[in-house]
Amino acid sequence: MTIQIDIFSGFFGAGKTTLIKKLIDENVYSKKITLIENEFGEIPIDGAFLKKYNIEIKEIKAGCICCSTVIDFTNTLREIIKSKETERIIIEPSGVGKLSEIVKIVKKLEEDDDIHLNLVIAAVDVTMYEEFTELFSEFYGDQISHASTILLSRTQNVDDEELGKVVSKIREINETASIVTTPWDDLSGVELLGLSEADGQQISRDEDLSAFDLEFDDDHDHDDDDHNHDIFTSWGIETPKIFPETQLRSIFESLKDEAVFGKVVRSKGKVQIDTVNWVEFDFVPNALEIRASEPDEIGRITVIGHDLNQAILDTIF
Ligand SMILES: [Zn+2]
């Protein structure tokens, strides 16, 4: 039995975890699966959720699976393959994982082991495309250019012209990938996977995006060979503090001030908002989602960014 391998890559906050949870939650995967998660200060899919679905999880925390922990990653993959207890392996690299490297590792194993590299997905937040290609093209460009499917997230938050521009720019660096622009909530997990397995099409909202007259700038460097994850830092706390929702919202509004906090690209966590209620939050510079959550023993907050002012973060939270 050939083990199928799906890679879900994407920059911080693009929605990798949301996507994997959606697929699992909709029972898209009927077979036994193992999830390999690599974190960069990111909060992983909670164990309770995965337990409900009997999913095996392997976390690699000590570094990036495309470089510093590549041996650990390869060995983990080999062990899972040898154990013959799983039929599908889902790999979730960290936001700064180089997709090209991860694909290379899996392809190498494919030569000897009975595995098949099935999906190579990059989740891309359409609202952050311009900014992140400018700032972090090394990781961002690598993920986009090496994916066979690009799932654009938050497309419901931009107009057609903006969406069309981003699609065209992505096409410039990846001519063959399927690009899915339909908002994820409008697609079932089965449809999403089906689209991901289709070849080189653009699957879009009904509008004809090709009608837009677009100009491109070609000065982005996507072939930078440096591989420096150190440009990102992650800050985190465990806290028993109560953050009323209005306070939480104003904190995140203020986090957009780069001069004060550095460039925050992502924050995620779970806190108490009053004496009984808890919320989970997801923050990227253009979106804040707060949703009710189960109580936990302690609140947890993670912030990821570039040049983060950790001292100020300590005081604001
Ligand atoms: Zn790496």
Distance between Cα 30 and ligand 1 center (Å)? 31
Distance between Cα 85 and ligand 1 center (Å)? 28
Give the pLDDT of residue 212.
31
Distance between Cα 61 and ligand 1 center (Å)? 12
Give the pLDDT of residue 42.
58
Q: What are the tokens at 232?
A: 């990102």
Q: How far apart are CA 184 and CA 217, in angstroms?
A: 29
- DSSP annotation of 275: S
Q: What are phi and psi of 260, to 5 degrees?
A: -90, -45
Q: How far is CA 16 from CA 45, 151, 273, in A?
A: 10, 10, 26
Give the pLDDT of residue 257.
93
Give all domains of the chain, ordered by start, each with its CATH number.
Answer: 3-211 (3.40.50.300), 232-316 (3.30.1220.10)
Give the pLDDT of residue 233.
86
Distance between Cα 227 and ligand 1 center (Å)? 7
Distance between Cα 99 and ligand 1 center (Å)? 9
Distance between Cα 233 and ligand 1 center (Å)? 14
pLDDT tens string, the chain, 317 residues long: the values are 899 999 999 998 899 888 998 888 888 886 789 999 987 765 655 666 677 777 888 988 878 888 888 899 999 999 999 998 899 999 999 888 899 999 999 999 999 999 999 999 999 999 999 999 988 888 889 999 999 999 999 999 999 999 999 999 999 999 999 999 999 888 888 888 877 776 545 554 433 333 332 333 333 333 334 567 778 888 988 899 999 999 999 999 999 999 999 999 999 899 999 999 999 999 988 889 999 998 888 899 999 999 999 999 999 99
Distance between Cα 63 and ligand 1 center (Å)? 8
Distance between Cα 24 and ligand 1 center (Å)? 27
Q: How far apart are CA 85 and CA 3, in angstroms?
A: 10
- Interval 78-100: pLDDT, tens: 999 999 889 999 999 988 889 99
- Interval 171-226: pLDDT, tens: 999 999 999 999 988 888 888 887 777 654 555 443 333 333 233 333 333 333 45
Give the pLDDT of residue 199.
54
Distance between Cα 303 and ligand 1 center (Å)? 20
Residues 275, 278, 284: CA angle, nearest 5 degrees: 135
Q: How far is CA 278 from CA 47, 203, 245, 294, 314, in A?
A: 18, 38, 10, 6, 21
Give the pLDDT of residue 219.
34
Given a contact cutoff of 8 angstroms between Cβ atoms, the answer to whether 122 and 147 are in contact is yes
